[in-house]
């Protein structure tokens, strides 16, 4: 089943990847220079980057992680850069079109005003000439002034007026159609077009490079710690102030390695939690490759231990194998079951379910809230660990006072932050309905491009209130 999903994924992403690299070649290389050497370099660069991106998903699956670490980091960083280049070209192109349309609009307005002014001047001149002739005739008829108006003079006056109209008309006509024709048939300024292409490409590279650099810094920077206080229905007074450190979506793999994990563990231990919970998508690789990095979790320190539930990515790399490996690392795996946290005097139920989508995509074991809560006293306080926030409202009706989830990454980086907020009703943060609560983590690591823009990674410290 996993192989079929992988093949389908490759068939969908490969054509899109090729199309993106062809487009970027045209904008960055073909449109900016006529030199064959420059274009050949561009074609070679885009071919290599595109091929590596298409192959990256299979290479990291079938080759040892250590041998693909550098390549995976470079390819997935380029993936993020390519996305921001596309966005930059789109924004700059739209800006140029708006500016050109405004310029054409101003030009057309100026032409119309010129035509109106020319017509008004012609009419005024004609009226002036005609009025003078009429006034002269009137004065002669009334004898007010001794002026002789001979037939030749009157003819000359009429001829002058006609000539004025004849001279004015061609001018007005020339200002209209001829001007429009010359604008539309003007030769293309190749140098200006090349300059604009280079300016646009340079601006896109600078903008995309700047955002990508910030995103990488944010992704590899130690996660921020978010403090959340939640009132848990039914929690005994003796457990008021109980603290849970919540981690999710770490995605240990070809990019996130032992050094990242050691720093993460150090920060978690500094919070002195009562309990540590990891809500899935811990790994992106096989046990044999990633166990040395993941084993850092055995250094986590808390009063009541560390607990884990599967995410969708664990199923891609053998959920059963990882469950066994984590148990050996002293991480307790809750697969559709619950445990009691505390002692006989004061305690609550910690409920764990498998990934929501696993059973729906053909895997043998998936989300089963009924099995996880079987035999549980519904009046007792409870915290549910579930990778995806999909079934929260149902879980709340079943008595879960608090659900801790992840999966969405909060979108991880713009513009996917907007898409995730539109797709997911509960995309990131704390959500409350009545006396029930849900917290969706933005994730502690990252997946795919090592970028975090608009959705920084987080460690969540949840304080339970009675």
Task: Give the three-state DSSP class for 465.
Answer: strand
Rounded Cα gap, residues 392 and 368, in angstroms: 13
Nearest to 430 by CA among 452, 405, 409: 405
More confident residue, 125 or 63: 63
Pairing of strands 337-342, 347-352: antiparallel
Q: Span 33-53, mean pLDDT?
A: 94
How many Å apart are CA 298 and CA 289, to the nearest integer? Answer: 17
pLDDT, average across residues 384-398: 96
Q: Which of 259, 254, 387 is nearest to 314 (CA)?
A: 387
Identify the CA nearest to 131 among candidates 111, 160, 173, 172: 160
- Reply yes or no on domain 225-465 having CATH 3.60.21.10: yes
Joined tokens for residue 466: 């009675």
What are the φ/ψ torsions at residue 146 (nearest 5 degrees)?
-85, 85
Q: What is the pLDDT of residue 310?
A: 98
In the prediction, which pLDDT does 13 show? Answer: 82
The residue ranges of every structural domain in the chain are 63-220, 225-465
Where b means 16+ CB within 10 Å and e means fewer, 31-57 reads: ebbeeeeebeebeeebeebbebbbebb
Are 235 and 400 in contact by the 8 Å Cβ rule? The answer is no
Question: How large is the average pLDDT for residues 336-340?
Answer: 97
Quickly state the pLDDT bin for 70 (edges 50, 70, 90).
confident
**Residue 304: which of 326, 273, 335, 279 has the closest Cα?**
273
Model confidence at 90, pLDDT cuts 50, 70, 90, reads: very high
Eight-class DSSP state of 188 = P
Task: Identify which of 32, 324, 326, 9 has the alpha carbon closest to the alpha carbon of residue 204.
Answer: 32
Question: How many of the other CB atoms lie within 10 Å of CB of 448?
Answer: 18
By DSSP bridging, strand 436-440 and strand 458-465 are unpaired
Quote the CA–CA distance of 403 and 384 in Å, as a whole number.
5
Packing angle between helix 190-220 and helix 65-142, nearest 10 degrees?
140
> Average pLDDT for residues 43-49, to the nearest whole number?
95
The confidence band for 406, taking pLDDT boundaries of 50, 70 and 90, is: very high
How confident is the model over 181-238, as pLDDT tens digits? 444 555 668 888 899 999 999 999 999 999 999 999 999 999 999 999 999 999 999 9
**456 vs 223: CA distance, rounded Å:** 7
């Amino acid at each position: 089943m996993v192989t079929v999903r992988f093949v389908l994924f490759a068939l969908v992403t490969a054509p899109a990847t090729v199309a993106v690299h062809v487009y970027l070649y045209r904008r960055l290389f073909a449109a900016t220079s006529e030199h064959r050497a420059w274009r050949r370099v561009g074609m070679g660069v885009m071919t290599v980057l595109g091929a590596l991106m298409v192959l990256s998903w299979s290479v990291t699956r079938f080759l040892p992680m250590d041998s693909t670490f550098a390549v995976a980091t470079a390819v997935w960083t380029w993936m993020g850069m390519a996305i921001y280049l596309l966005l930059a070209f789109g924004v700059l192109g739209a800006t140029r079109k708006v500016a050109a349309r405004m310029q054409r609009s101003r030009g057309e307005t100026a032409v119309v005003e010129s035509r109106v002014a020319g017509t008004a001047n012609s009419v005024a001149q004609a009226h002036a000439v005609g009025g003078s002739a009429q006034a002269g005739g009137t004065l002669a008829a009334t004898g007010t002034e001794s002026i002789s108006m001979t037939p030749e003079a009157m003819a000359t006056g009429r001829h002058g007026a006609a000539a004025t109209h004849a001279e004015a008309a061609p001018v007005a006509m020339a200002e209209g159609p001829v001007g429009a024709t010359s604008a539309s048939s003007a030769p293309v300024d190749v140098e200006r077009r090349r300059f604009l292409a280079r300016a646009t490409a340079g601006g896109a590279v600078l903008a995309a490079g700047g955002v990508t650099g910030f995103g990488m810094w944010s992704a590899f920077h130690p996660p921020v710690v978010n403090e959340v206080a939640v009132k848990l229905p039914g929690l005994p007074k003796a457990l008021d102030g109980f603290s849970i450190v919540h981690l999710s979506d770490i995605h240990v793999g070809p990019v996130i390695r032992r050094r990242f994990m050691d720093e993460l563990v150090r920060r978690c231990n500094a919070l002195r939690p009562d309990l540590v919970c990891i809500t899935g998508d811990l790994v992106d690789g096989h046990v044999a490759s990633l166990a040395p990095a993941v084993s850092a979790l055995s250094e986590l320190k808390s009063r009541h231990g560390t607990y884990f539930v599967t995410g969708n990515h664990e199923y891609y790399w053998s959920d059963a194998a990882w469950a066994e490996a984590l148990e050996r690392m002293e991480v307790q795996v809750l697969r559709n079951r619950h445990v009691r946290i505390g002692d006989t005097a004061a305690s609550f139920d910690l409920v764990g379910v498998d990934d929501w989508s696993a059973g729906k995509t053909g895997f043998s074991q998936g989300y089963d809230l009924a099995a996880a809560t079987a035999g549980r006293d519904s009046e007792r306080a409870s915290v549910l660990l579930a990778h995806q926030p999909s079934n929260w409202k149902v879980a709340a009706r079943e008595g879960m006072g608090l659900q801790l989830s992840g999966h969405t990454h909060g979108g991880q980086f713009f513009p996917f932050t907007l898409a995730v907020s539109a797709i997911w009703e509960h995309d990131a943060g704390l959500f409350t309905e009545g006396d029930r609560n849900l917290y969706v983590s933005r994730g502690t690591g990252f997946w795919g491009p090592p970028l975090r823009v608009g959705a920084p990674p987080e460690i969540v410290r949840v304080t339970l209130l009675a």
